[in-house]
Chains A and B, each alone.
Chain A
């Protein structure tokens, strides 16, 4: 935790994230001024967003200053870090991110069954490197079971797409 982390080291990622947040709240705060902060003796639509952007901005500057000064590195909040070992597996991570990013766009045209099968294929075979047999079993089992539970039992109208079945 915080006490154990080495002091006096600037965390570049933290600083970049805080700068990004500052840019975001600066844009949002500027935009909220345009919505009207006060009119006819009444608070306008922009007042509240402006105040909270100011709060985030001021605290963000303080946090950024602390990060750049390299003192008091913030506590780790990643619950997985302690249980993992070895180097970062960027390829695997990129495959997961790709699946998460592409899935919603494929759901409507392909339908739930095909898009889920495609997503699971990428994750199980390519990302996790599972053998063909187990991968096929997990894929068919997951797609079948989730289709049965959601479409049939719970009546969730899943997108039908190419196959014509949810």
Chain B
């Protein structure tokens, strides 16, 4: 079930927040003069939800106003995106902006917003790790060996993924296409069930995010590569996709954005507050615990990343003939 309200424990938090709110608002005089609403286009409880909550909590202090979180997962997050795209550009309505809704979804299906025009990116704070995983007792020790096997036995290698069109799927599909291999993708609706199926020998490989790490530590799963640009600090032995002989990487970023045409001063204020919040200990801990990679980008950097990725993911999907480019 996908529910949220401002928070069940609001009573408990209210006292602490109102103290902050009063002192902060009086000192600033201008923006922000009232609580800010951050809409999360996912159901509560996932890594995106938990990390952006931690970030918002930490940004309350520099902003001097509480940030109310509302989860609106309807339409795969499209409803939330549409709502923010049409909201007043006063800085009081923000969205948890991710590559999934912003850069991939427009290429997968018709969405009621135009990412390039309808949003003001404010900052990026993180990105999902994406790993190619096999069981520890599997004979494949590297990404090359796995793809070799898939090339020689077309369609025999199964890869558990969360959903079609997830960055994990696009990454592995691109790997397979460039290696001339044919992989059968089996979507499980989430990373955890895909790993379960890998452990139970129901699929031959899995492409997942950080939720695989406990199974790596217990020695049941071996990671062959990360699809990100840099090696993960906790896993120095896992090579990147570039080190495995490909000239690209995948960045499934997470950030904050607002409606289009926001005043520059408001954008700047929010950008600084959220970037400052990234130094918060509780936020950092949530990122490490949930195995989300830290990516730091200001408003300009976020804009560039968005424009680049809109194009990149479009190219990948066109090449793979998927989503809106599927030919039946």
Asked if A39 CB lies within 8 Å of chain B CBs, one says yes
B328:A156 contact, CB within 8 angstroms: no
A147 to chain B, nearest CB (A): 14
Asked if A155 CB lies within 8 Å of chain B CBs, one says yes
B120 to chain A, nearest CB (A): 24
B5's partner among A36, A39, A156 (CB-CB below 8 A) is: A156
Q: Provide the bound-state CA to CA distance between A94 and B8, in Å.
A: 37
B10:A36 contact, CB within 8 angstroms: no
Q: Which residues of A contact B265 (CB under 8 A)?
A: none
B256 to chain A, nearest CB (A): 20
Q: Provide the bound-state CA to CA distance between A2 and B19, in Å.
A: 67
Chain B interface main SS type: loop
Contact with A along B2-20 (1 / 0, CB 8 A): 0001111111000000000
A36's partner among B8, B9, B328 (CB-CB below 8 A) is: B328
Q: Provide the bound-state CA to CA distance between A158 and B263, in Å.
A: 30
Asked if B70 CB lies within 8 Å of chain A CBs, one says yes
A-facing residues in B1-59 (Cβ within 8 Å): 5-11
Asked if A1 CB lies within 8 Å of chain B CBs, one says no
A39's partner among B6, B7, B8, B328 (CB-CB below 8 A) is: B328
Which of A39, A153, A154 has its CB near the most chain B CB atoms (within 10 A)? A154
Q: Provide the bound-state CA to CA distance between A79 and B70, in Å.
A: 39
B7:A155 contact, CB within 8 angstroms: yes
Number of interface residues of A (CB under 8 A): 7
Asked if A157 CB lies within 8 Å of chain B CBs, one says yes
Q: Which residues of B contact A153 (CB under 8 A)?
A: 11
B8:A155 contact, CB within 8 angstroms: yes
B328:A154 contact, CB within 8 angstroms: no
Q: Which residues of A contact B70 (CB under 8 A)?
A: 157
With both beta carbons as reference points, the residue of chain A lying nearest to B155 in the complex is identified as A41
Q: Provide the bound-state CA to CA distance between A22 and B6, in Å.
A: 44
With both beta carbons as reference points, the residue of chain A lying nearest to B70 in the complex is identified as A157
Which of B5, B8, B68, B70 has its CB near the most chain A CB atoms (within 10 A)? B5
Contact with B along A140-161 (1 / 0, CB 8 A): 0000000000000111110000
B6:A157 contact, CB within 8 angstroms: yes
With both beta carbons as reference points, the residue of chain A lying nearest to B13 in the complex is identified as A155
With both beta carbons as reference points, the residue of chain A lying nearest to B7 in the complex is identified as A155
Which of A153, A154, A155 has its CB near the most chain B CB atoms (within 10 A)? A155
Q: Which residues of B contact A39 (CB under 8 A)?
A: 328
B328:A155 contact, CB within 8 angstroms: no
With both beta carbons as reference points, the residue of chain B lying nearest to A39 in the complex is identified as B328
A157:B328 contact, CB within 8 angstroms: no
Q: Which residues of B contact A155 (CB under 8 A)?
A: 5-11
With both beta carbons as reference points, the residue of chain B lying nearest to A154 in the complex is identified as B8
A146 to chain B, nearest CB (A): 14
With both beta carbons as reference points, the residue of chain A lying nearest to B6 in the complex is identified as A155
Q: Which residues of B contact A156 (CB under 8 A)?
A: 5-6
Contact with A along B289-328 (1 / 0, CB 8 A): 0000000000000000000000000000000000000001
B57 to chain A, nearest CB (A): 16
Q: Provide the bound-state CA to CA distance between A157 and B8, in Å.
A: 11
Q: Which residues of A contact B10 (CB under 8 A)?
A: 155
Binding site for B on A (CB under 8 A): 36, 39, 153-157
Binding site for A on B (CB under 8 A): 5-11, 68, 70, 328
Sorted nearest first, the 9 A-B pairs with minimum C-beta distance are A155-B10, A156-B5, A155-B6, A155-B5, A155-B7, A157-B5, A157-B6, A155-B8, A154-B8
Subset of 18 A-B contacts with CB under 8 Å: A36-B328, A39-B328, A153-B11, A154-B5, A154-B8, A155-B5, A155-B6, A155-B7, A155-B8, A155-B9, A155-B10, A155-B11, A156-B5, A156-B6, A157-B5, A157-B6, A157-B68, A157-B70
